Structure 1
Amino acid sequence: MSSTDLRIEQKIRELLDARARDATICPSDVARAMSDNDWRDLMEPVRKAARRLVDAGEVEITQKGSVVDPSTAKGPIRIRWAR
């Protein structure tokens, strides 16, 4: 895992900590917080980081409010602390 991967995971945690315990964040929130201009290039690395955090039991990935399997999720996702 690269230093960028670790920074992305930390940024996910920071953004979640800044919100209510049951709130969600969008991967684009993380990408934009890390880069003003090239945030779109970070979208897939952010999604991968979220999947690693799901595997670690730290977060959940949701779509339309329901927890989904991150390996099969297509389209927009949200990230929240694991419940």
Structure 2
Amino acid sequence: MSDPIETVILDLLGPLAPGKSISPEEAARAADPEGWRRTMPKVRAVAIGMARDGRLVITRHGKPADPNRFKGVYRLRLPLEGDAPPAG
């Protein structure tokens, strides 16, 4: 059974054009409109897990980031053909 946050992330990314991304805030707001700020750490944790599994890419400044070491503002997108496998 997948995590509800994972489902929200994939539902938001699914209809987007390849290479397009979402902010973690978008996922948190979709998962919990009233308490989205409290949901942000869960979105980050789920995104890191998905990125480590190669099912998601975390980007910083438009470039793939190491899911084990990134800091600051980030976005989420689906992997593209030719993306390097996740570090770690």
Using the size of structure 1 for normalisation, the TM-score is: 0.89
1:24 counterpart (17, 21, 44) = 21
What is the CA-CA distance between 1:18 and the residue it aligns to?
2.2
Using the size of structure 2 for normalisation, the TM-score is: 0.84
Give the distance between the partners of 2:76 and 2:61, measured in 1 at CA. Answer: 11
The reply on whether 1:33 has 2:35 as its aligned counterpart is: no
1:56 counterpart (53, 56, 61) = 53
| Structure with more of its chain in helix, by fraction | 1
Give the distance between the partners of 1:72 and 1:64, measured in 2 at CA. Answer: 15
In structure 1, runs of 5+ residues without a counterpart are: none
Equivalent position of 2:68 in the other structure: 71
Equivalent position of 1:10 in the other structure: 7
Question: What is the aligned residue count?
Answer: 80
Identity, % of aligned pairs? 34
What is the CA-CA distance between 1:11 and the residue it aligns to?
0.6
